[in-house]
Amino acid sequence: MKPMTIAVTGSSGLIGSALCAFLTTGGHTVIRLVRREARGPLEREWNPLAPSATLLDGVDAVAHLAGASIAGRFTERHRRGIRDSRVEPTRLLAEVAAASRSGPKVFVSASAIGIYGTDRGEEHLSENSSHGDDFLARVVSDWEDATSPARAAGIRVAAVRTGIVQSAQGGSLKIYRPLFALGVGGRIAGGHQWVSWIDIDDLLDIYYRALFDERVAGPVNAVSPHPVRNAEYARTLARVLRRPALVPVPALGPRIILGTEGSRNLVEGGQFVNPAVLAAINHTFRREDLESSLRHQLGRYLR
């Protein structure tokens, strides 16, 4: 693996900032595509709805991570923000990649396991499973389809379908940790729903593999091989923090805060997702069981 020049969107986010640091310390040149005036040679100004034709010149690969957060009440404005920050900017960036004579040979785009639908019950899902038909599933499906201009131009394209990221710096763990630390955490909405999760360090490894491993093309489920039910997640986090998990949260609670659709998409629903593509190429996870991931991310090691 020779040093590469990699353009990254969403470089200030939880995953993007970690990926940029990971790639930089690995000896690669990272060019951040930013939506403000560029500051120095390692940044390029990127207008998501009108990208420059030369934006990706001299770039070996693209890691496209930009997109508005899905957390919140699913109002019409929130829905529009989720969709508009993903589908059209991805299509336009893929078109720039396709048209660039000295541009990327690899285009890795963020995606999400939400493509499978809000709640698939006990069904085991792989990259070949059918897509859901709710709002988020349709958005993610269109998001992946938006990379087609790059694929049609012969660029290797991968879509990293990310599960629930475990990191003390953000995401669900940052929300749950203080609640469980106070002893007021517990299972949510019955606790039977599956949680397909991924340690952030493993997620970085998957992005790295997608950038460099020519066997990786198309959708890739970025999840641990061992999903857990919500109730088990609660018990494990409580055990790691040495606190009880005695305060179950009924479905009504999240619905009051997030609305019915938001709660169904973000809390009540679940999917049992398998990383079949990674398993087929013998990918090794650093932390594939939940307790080891939580202990590492929270610094709660066993003696």
Residue 256 belongs to domain with CATH number: 3.40.50.720
CB count within 10 Å of CB 44 equals: 18
Tens-digit pLDDT profile for residues 63-97: 999 999 998 888 999 999 999 999 999 999 999 99
27: left (phi over 0), alpha (psi -120 to 50) or beta: left
Joined tokens for residue 4: 């590469």
**Higher per-residue confidence, 246 vs 65:** 65
CA torsion 131-133-139-145 (nearest 10°) is 40
Joined tokens for residue 272: 């049992």
C-alpha–C-alpha distance, residues 167 and 201, integer Å: 9
Provide the pLDDT for residue 252: 67
253 pLDDT more than 80: no
SS3 63: strand
What does each C-alpha distance from 231 to 154, 212, 235, 295, 296 come to in angstroms? Answer: 45, 37, 6, 18, 21
Q: What is the mean pLDDT of residues 23-36?
A: 97
C-alpha–C-alpha distance, residues 82 and 64, integer Å: 15
Reported as a pLDDT band with limits 50, 70 and 90, residue 42 is very high
Tens-digit pLDDT profile for residues 258-271: 777 776 777 778 99
Question: Which residue from 123, 137, 126 is spatially nearest to 193, judged by alpha carbons?
Answer: 123
Tens-digit pLDDT profile for residues 113-130: 999 998 888 999 999 999
Q: What is the mean pLDDT of residues 26-54?
A: 97
Question: Which residue from 238, 240, 241, 260 is spatially nearest to 251, judged by alpha carbons?
Answer: 260
Residue 303 lies in a domain: no
**DSSP state, residue 174:** H
**Lowest-pLDDT range of 68-82, 91-105, 282-296:** 68-82
Mean pLDDT of the residues in the chain: 93
Residues 6+ apart with CB under 8 A from 1: 212
Reported as a pLDDT band with limits 50, 70 and 90, residue 254 is low
Q: Cite the DSSP H helix spans in 118-164.
A: 135-145, 148-152
Number of structural domains found in the chain: 1
C-alpha–C-alpha distance, residues 261 and 270, integer Å: 14
What does each C-alpha distance from 108 to 49, 88, 216, 271 come to in angstroms? Answer: 19, 16, 10, 23
Give percent above pLDDT 70 in the chain: 97
Domain range for residue 172? Answer: 5-298
Provide the pLDDT for residue 88: 98
Residue 130 lies in a domain: yes
